[in-house]
Amino acid sequence: MYPEPDPLVGMDQLEFYGQRAWRPGKLSAEPPDPSKEKLGIQALQYQEKHRVHHEVSEAEAQEGDCLSFFQVVTVVI
């Protein structure tokens, strides 16, 4: 189940790779809020599990093309 409110709001406006949307620009020695951390991690895990990975399906299609090409080449030779 995806957490509410959405902890990933503003993810496209982060300053650097690896920064977390639920604690943007936080540069302090105090530990992060454990409940916000948990909700943020749950949201990321939900997206990883339910998002379509186009790069994977494209790679699988290219792999299929390569295999069919080599099967044709081996039959002709």
Q: What is the pLDDT of residue 39?
A: 92
Alpha-carbon distance of 28 to 5, in angstroms, equals: 24
Record the pTM: 0.56
Phi, psi of 11 (to 5 degrees): -65, -30
Per-domain boundaries in the chain: 11-76
Location of structure tokens 């530990």 = 31
For residue 4, what are the CA distances in angstroms to 42, 45, 50, 65? 11, 14, 17, 43
Residue 11, helix vs strand vs coil: helix
pLDDT exceeds 60 at position 77: no
Per-residue pLDDT tens over the stretch 14-37: 777 778 888 766 666 677 788 888
Short-list 8, 5, 4, CA closest to 41: 8
